[in-house]
Copies of this chain bind each other. A is one copy, B any other.
Amino acid sequence: MSFTVRDAFWNKYRTLVADVMLPYEYDALNNSLADASIEKSHSLENIRIAAGESEEEFRGLVFQDSDTAKWLEAVAYSLLYKPNADLEKKADEVIRLIGKAQDEDGYFNTYFKLNRPQSRFTNLLEAHELYCAGHLIEAGVAYFEGTGKRTLLDISRRFADLLYRIFLTEGKKGVPGHPEIELALVRLYRATGEKNYLDLAKHFIDERGTDPDFFVKEAAARDWNVWTPNPKDTDYLQATRPVREEENAVGHAVRAAYLYTGMAMTAHETGDETLLAACKRMWRSIVDRRMYVTGGIGSTAVGEAFTADYDLPNDTNYCETCAAIALIFFAREMATMTNDAEYADVMERALYNNVLASFQQDGTHFFYVNPLEVDPALAGKIPLLRHVFPSRPGWHACACCPPNAARLLSSIDRYAFHESEGVLYADLFLGGTYDSATAALTVESALPRSGEVTCTLTRGADITLAVRIPSWSKRTVIRRNGEECVPTMQKGYALLNNLNAGDAIAITFDMTPRKIYANPKVAADFGKCAVSVGPRVFCFEDVDQSAPLEGACLKRGGALRLVQSDAGDHGGFYVRAEGTMSQSCDGLYSYHAPDEQPCELIAVPYHIWGNRGLGRMKVWLPER
Interface residue ranges, A against B (CB under 8 Å): 287-289, 291, 293, 299-300, 302-303, 305, 307-311, 313, 315-316, 373, 375, 377-378, 381-384, 472, 474, 514-523, 526-529, 550-551, 553, 556, 582-594, 622-624
Please name all residues of chain B whose beta carbon is closer than 8 Å to the beta carbon of A316 when the two chains form the complex. Answer: 316, 384
Please name all residues of chain B whose beta carbon is closer than 8 Å to the beta carbon of A516 when the two chains form the complex. Answer: 589-591
When the two chains form their complex, are residues A594 and B553 in contact, meaning their CB atoms are under 8 A apart?
Answer: no
**Which of A293, A311, A373, A474 counts the most B-chain CB atoms under 10 A from its CB?**
A311
In addition to A313-B384, A519-B590, A556-B624, 4 A-B residue pairs with Cβ atoms within 8 Å of each other are A288-B587, A307-B378, A308-B381, A527-B528
Please name all residues of chain B whose beta carbon is closer than 8 Å to the beta carbon of A311 when the two chains form the complex. Answer: 378, 382
Closest residue of B by beta carbon distance from A309: B377
A552 shortest CB reach to chain B, Å: 9
When the two chains form their complex, are residues A589 and B293 in contact, meaning their CB atoms are under 8 A apart?
Answer: yes
Count of chain copies:
2
When the two chains form their complex, are residues A527 and B624 in contact, meaning their CB atoms are under 8 A apart?
Answer: yes
A405 shortest CB reach to chain B, Å: 24
When the two chains form their complex, are residues A583 and B517 in contact, meaning their CB atoms are under 8 A apart?
Answer: no
Question: Please, how many angstroms separate the alpha-carbon atoms of A381 and B308 in the complex?
Answer: 9
Closest residue of B by beta carbon distance from A474: B591
Please name all residues of chain B whose beta carbon is closer than 8 Å to the beta carbon of A288 when the two chains form the complex. Answer: 586-588
Closest residue of B by beta carbon distance from A557: B593
Say whether, besides A515-B591, A550-B526, A624-B624, A307 and B382 are in contact (CB < 8 Å).
yes
For this complex, 12 residue pairs linking A to B, each with C-beta atoms less than 8 Å apart, are A291-B588, A303-B383, A305-B383, A308-B381, A308-B382, A315-B523, A517-B592, A520-B583, A520-B585, A526-B582, A622-B624, A623-B624
When the two chains form their complex, are residues A300 and B383 in contact, meaning their CB atoms are under 8 A apart?
Answer: yes
A618 shortest CB reach to chain B, Å: 9
When the two chains form their complex, are residues A526 and B622 in contact, meaning their CB atoms are under 8 A apart?
Answer: yes
The residue from B373, B518, B585 contacting A519, defined by CB atoms under 8 A apart:
B585
Question: Please, how many angstroms separate the alpha-carbon atoms of A583 and B583 in the complex?
Answer: 32
Question: Please, how many angstroms separate the alpha-carbon atoms of A495 and B592 in the complex?
Answer: 27
Please name all residues of chain B whose beta carbon is closer than 8 Å to the beta carbon of A381 when the two chains form the complex. Answer: 308
When the two chains form their complex, are residues A302 and B383 in contact, meaning their CB atoms are under 8 A apart?
Answer: yes
Question: Please, how many angstroms separate the alpha-carbon atoms of A383 and B586 in the complex?
Answer: 34
A108 shortest CB reach to chain B, Å: 35
Closest 6 CB pairs of A and B: A527-B622, A624-B624, A302-B383, A307-B382, A520-B551, A520-B582
Please name all residues of chain B whose beta carbon is closer than 8 Å to the beta carbon of A515 when the two chains form the complex. Answer: 591, 593
Question: Please, how many angstroms separate the alpha-carbon atoms of A419 and B136 in the complex?
Answer: 79
A193 shortest CB reach to chain B, Å: 40
Question: Please, how many angstroms separate the alpha-carbon atoms of A35 and B18 in the complex?
Answer: 68
Question: Please, how many angstroms separate the alpha-carbon atoms of A551 and B302 in the complex?
Answer: 28
Question: Please, how many angstroms separate the alpha-carbon atoms of A515 and B590 in the complex?
Answer: 9
When the two chains form their complex, are residues B302 and A384 in contact, meaning their CB atoms are under 8 A apart?
Answer: yes
When the two chains form their complex, are residues A384 and B384 in contact, meaning their CB atoms are under 8 A apart?
Answer: yes
Say whether, besides A287-B588, A624-B556, A300 and B517 are in contact (CB < 8 Å).
no
Please name all residues of chain B whose beta carbon is closer than 8 Å to the beta carbon of A588 when the two chains form the complex. Answer: 287-289, 291, 293, 310, 518-519, 522
Please name all residues of chain B whose beta carbon is closer than 8 Å to the beta carbon of A553 when the two chains form the complex. Answer: 527
When the two chains form their complex, are residues A384 and B519 in contact, meaning their CB atoms are under 8 A apart?
Answer: no
A363 shortest CB reach to chain B, Å: 30
Question: Please, how many angstroms separate the alpha-carbon atoms of A302 and B301 in the complex?
Answer: 14
Please name all residues of chain B whose beta carbon is closer than 8 Å to the beta carbon of A384 when the two chains form the complex. Answer: 300, 302, 313, 316, 384
A145 shortest CB reach to chain B, Å: 36
Question: Please, how many angstroms separate the alpha-carbon atoms of A171 and B316 in the complex?
Answer: 46
Question: Please, how many angstroms separate the alpha-carbon atoms of A287 and B623 in the complex?
Answer: 29
